[in-house]
Structure 1
Amino acid sequence: MRAFTQLLILADGRFPSGGHAHSGGLEAAVHQRRVHNETDLEAFLRGRLRTAGLVGAAFAAAACARPSTMDELEAELDARTPSPAQRLAARRQGRSLIRAAQVVWPGEHVARAARTKVSQPIALGVVADAADVTPGEAALISAYHSISGPASAAVRLLGLDPYRVHGLLAALGNECDEVAREAAAFTRGPAADLPAASAPLLDISAEDHAAWEVRLFAS
């Protein structure tokens, strides 16, 4: 039986992949007064899960299923990420994740990902493959990270009760599982057919956020 510890390590928010430095667009949303409280946060998380979360999970699953195609997947993901700021943030997170993986799960594809500087969803899939995690599990990790990161940031940005925020994450659990299953189903088709769910406001906000002189999070 494969060691599920690998799955737990990769899914752990304390894994040194750089995610703690990013709010997933929440800092800009708070600054623009679109997110004030738990109700607003729930709407933000649900919207992010169904757009950027779905896309990231699908690409993570595809990279896990066929890590040798990481260059093609990276090009397709770039085409779905119109914001230069978001592309830069994704590559920085990907670099941090691959750096950790080079120590924890070194291998041919991980080394190649380090040379090509892949984005976070692609890096997650490549590392998941190296850790013997399935594509479906990689999709689930990615989907969960797409909401857990902003949820954690909300505690710092809005001073929300961390117990209630984690209760909100638990309430979104079934929806997160559903998005992960939908994302994993795309691994059977060509890269060009991977989802392209858009979130224009996240793209616009990312560009605005990148121009701030002072900010708490990198994105």
Structure 2
Amino acid sequence: MPTVPAASTAPAPLPASLLLLADSRLPTGAHVHSGGLEPAAAAGRVRTVAALAEFLRGRLATAGLVAAAFAAAAAAECARPEPRWAAFDAELDARTPSPAQREASRAQGRALLRTAHTVWPAPALAALAAASPGGAHHPLALGAAAHAAAPEHAPAHAALLAASAAVTGPASAAVRLLALDPLAVHGVLAELAPSVDAVAAEARAVPDSPAELPAVSAPALDVHAELHRGQRLRLFES
């Protein structure tokens, strides 16, 4: 008798609509944010491809995991009759001690919600915007946008998008800021791909309470963000 193949635990492939969210050409202003790369470079911590690889690994394991977990949880929260956006906002604020990073996150979130609501008009996007007069944090906006674009498997897809953005954004900034070889930089991203998948898989496990989401920290990113905000000459906003 033919055997029945075991069910796969891998996430479903990204639908084409969600590829738009991963496209750097999406008009959300992401190109003016370096994810902490510019201040790290100014401090002399990132000057080479090897140093960039270490920076990206650290960012993925800390800020990347937090962003991916909150994006996945936000996507799942959109299915609730009354989403707990205030609680999610407070928990993400608590995990972002740097005022500069909070401002950057909210600025990117506002832009993403505005774009997503134009492309995929959905009540969840309007509800999140209404609940966030100061601007929704970017991971929450990303999760809500993923749900609006393709509700099926949205938490898993949102986690993957956030984990990927945690490294691709700074990598792109490094090419422009440090004139690194783009082929070598993309080689680093290729090497990091399994780690991105692993972080996304960890982030897909959405707990019942937003307080139970990951709370890993990256103090160096916080310090650099505050120093960067005081710089008069800078290429990126963050």
Q: Which category describes the TM-score, using the shorter chain as reference length?
A: over 0.9
Q: Who wins on radius of gyration, i.e. which is larger?
A: 2
Distance 2:92 2:207 in 1: 17
Q: Which amino acid aligns with 1:78?
A: D
Select which of 35, 42, 57 maps to 1:46: 57
Deviations 1:176-201 (A, max 9, x none): 0000000111x133111100010001
The structure-2 alpha-carbon separation of the partners of 1:2 and 1:207, relative to structure 1 and needing over 3 Å to count, comes to closer
In structure 2, how many angstroms separate the alpha carbons of the residues matched to 1:69 and 1:211?
34
CA distance in 1, matches of 2:39, 2:194: 27
Give the helix-richer structure, 1 or 2.
Answer: 1
- Which is worse superposed, 31-40 or 104-113? 104-113
Q: Which amino acid aligns with 1:66?
A: E
- Which residue of the partner structure matches residue 156 of structure 1? 176
Q: How does 1:40-189 map to 2 (within 5 A)?
A: 40-67=51-78, 68-115=83-130, 116=132, 117-133=135-151, 134-185=154-205, 187-189=206-208
Q: Distance in 1 between matches of 2:20 and 2:108?
A: 17
**Number of matched pairs:** 218
- The CA distance in 2 between the partners of 1:107 and 1:3, in whole Å, is 19
Which residue of the partner structure matches residue 199 of structure 1? 218
- CA 1:212/1:3 → structure 2, altered by over 3 Å: closer, same or farther? closer
Deviation at 1:14, TM superposition (A): 1.4
Counterpart Cα distance in 2 of 1:3 and 1:139: 11
Maintained 8 Å contact 2:72/2:155: yes
Structure 2 unaligned blocks of 5 or more: 1-11
Instruction: Name the TM-score, length of structure 1 as normaliser.
Output: 0.96
Q: Give the whole-Å Cα distance in 2 for the aligned partners of 1:129 and 1:163.
A: 33
* Deviation readout 1:6-48 (Å, 9 max, x if unpaired): 1211111211122111000000000000011000000000000
Structure 1 residue 107 displacement after superposition: 1.4
Taking the aligned partners of 1:2 and 1:12, their CA distance within structure 2 comes to 16
User: Structure 1's 44 and 107: CA in aligned 2 closer, same or farther, altered over 3 A?
Assistant: same
Give the CA deviation at 1:50: 0.1
Q: TM-score, normalised by structure 2?
A: 0.89
Q: Determine if the alignment matches structure 1 residue 211 to structure 2 residue 230.
A: yes
Q: Which runs of 4+ in 1 moved over 3 A?
A: none
Is 1:35 aligned with 2:54?
no
Any conservation in 1 of the 2:207–2:213 contact (CA below 8 Å)?
no
